[in-house]
Structure 1
């Protein structure tokens, strides 16, 4: 059974996940690889590596902070979700922003060790800021940073000021770089991206079907996830709740995103992979779990074949 195969974290699992992503990435960007210039193909190959790196980073974050058991579920689930939506494999800015948000999440979760807290808060905020340079509304993940501060190190007032220092530092760097490269100041207008509330694209079956499936799965698994949080020990509870907050923030970011083609949902997939993995780990009905798992992996294939 597939669930049994991915119930362990072994090198072969990650090779399969990487191959799975490679197949759908090539399919989504086929024309670029077919007729693009050498530098364009090289750039797209780099983006592919970033997606694979994001999978490894998610697995590392989960293992280091005990968000799930030691299995490959979250890796293959993340791959399955992103491959359901071809635009998510084509939007380089969103892919880059998502990587930086994962780097930020890593630092936020590490705050519970109570060591080097100022540096970790600074790094986490800086990564969110860098992500916002590629996708403005990623800046909302600062709420996640402040939640981490509140839960772990909120009793020190200076910790609440560190994110402001980090944002000002990033602004100084961005302005200096802009002056050197374009001889102009980096302004809010250069950074800001207006929201777009035109969801017409979601009427198309190629977007409607996977989006409906993903949100139905997220709602269903979240009910069980909340129960898991309630039963967790005090040390793990805050980290598990943080993932739920990440998922909710990602939904808000997607709604406010200037692009409405499915790629804006990418920020939702990492926390969702953690939530669904916990759901799988708690399931007793093996046949239902197997069926659901296969459906997640086969849906991208069916969508590619039909649309």
Structure 2
């Protein structure tokens, strides 16, 4: 049933994912969030939900536009499931904002394989990543992704190496300018929030969280293994894109382990590459009953973990 629904990109599939995400989002807000709901927080939550949907559907647009997957919505379906596996994302508006900006940045970096408007795309991606870091400071680590792309795809022009620093100067100057005018103290609190400790005891004392992370680690290993097995059949351009996807996954992992207090919502930064790898793995499975069993099994497990976290 799942395979037959999402094996093609249809308008009804967007509606299905939107409605189900709204149901699980509302359920989480009702049962797991203790903050009193008023008009302002209601608007904030509605905005967060719409922006999260925009992020997931933007991922799907990037997959299809760059021919990273076939004409299906398995990638969007995996992104939806991952949100249920880490429902803390539903109550993390700052991470949702950062995720949306990072996905836009990934889109610009992947588009570099066309070799058109290289400097503009590099600058745009740097600015988007730096703005994302204003919502979640560790997002700045994705600038490493920009330097990686410059090194292996555009190093023939030394001026490209200056672009991240120009973007940093511009975004930093604007942020400091607004801070001087409004004196909010936000920039200083953001800088002070940077630390390199990881609270292992907090994870060890939460059995559900531990099993959720173990399950997600198994998914990552499975999708990576499938990706490596099929790597020999990729074109040069497609291989370059996969190198970007692998690095996104690595940086996402680094960001997670650097957190002083574990916030599972940060795992959303890894949804983009994993959904592509998962979709490609499903596409390679020829027997329909195996596809259906695999997707059904993952769905059931994730739903169980979701309800355990309420």
1:84 matched residue in structure 2: 85
1:125 matched residue in structure 2: 126
- The verdict on how the C-alpha distance between 1:11 and 1:184 changes in structure 2, with shifts beyond 3 A counting, is closer
Say whether the 8 Å CA contact 2:199–2:260 is kept in structure 1. Answer: no
Is 1:260 matched with 2:279?
Answer: no
- The verdict on how the C-alpha distance between 1:305 and 1:112 changes in structure 2, with shifts beyond 3 A counting, is closer
1:6 matched residue in structure 2: 6
Aligned mate of 1:244, from 218, 243, 246: 246
Using the TM superposition, give the Cα deviation of residue 85 of structure 1 relative to its aligned residue in structure 2, in angstroms: 1.7
What pairs up with 1:92-131 in 2 under 5 angstroms?
A: 92-131=93-132
Say whether the 8 Å CA contact 1:104–1:125 is kept in structure 2. Answer: yes
What pairs up with 1:41-80 in 2 under 5 angstroms?
A: 41-80=42-81
What pairs up with 1:158-307 in 2 under 5 angstroms?
A: 158-182=159-183, 186-187=187-188, 190=191, 192-203=193-204, 204-307=206-309
Say whether the 8 Å CA contact 2:86–2:306 is kept in structure 1. Answer: no
Using the TM superposition, give the Cα deviation of residue 186 of structure 1 relative to its aligned residue in structure 2, in angstroms: 4.5
C-alpha distance in 1, partners of 2:209/2:94? 20
Q: Provide, for residues 186-244 of structure 1, a one-character-per-residue CA deviation record: whole Å limited to 9, x for no partner.
A: 45963652133113343323322222111101101211102323210112111122112
- TM-score, with structure 2 as normaliser: 0.92
2:148 matched residue in structure 1: 147
C-alpha distance in 2, partners of 1:199/1:183? 33
Using the TM superposition, give the Cα deviation of residue 17 of structure 1 relative to its aligned residue in structure 2, in angstroms: 1.1
Using the TM superposition, give the Cα deviation of residue 257 of structure 1 relative to its aligned residue in structure 2, in angstroms: 2.2
- TM-score, with structure 1 as normaliser: 0.93
- The verdict on how the C-alpha distance between 1:64 and 1:212 changes in structure 2, with shifts beyond 3 A counting, is same
C-alpha distance in 1, partners of 2:261/2:250? 18
Say whether the 8 Å CA contact 1:201–1:261 is kept in structure 2. Answer: no
C-alpha distance in 1, partners of 2:186/2:198? 30
- The verdict on how the C-alpha distance between 1:19 and 1:189 changes in structure 2, with shifts beyond 3 A counting, is closer
Say whether the 8 Å CA contact 2:134–2:190 is kept in structure 1. Answer: no
Say whether the 8 Å CA contact 2:84–2:306 is kept in structure 1. Answer: no
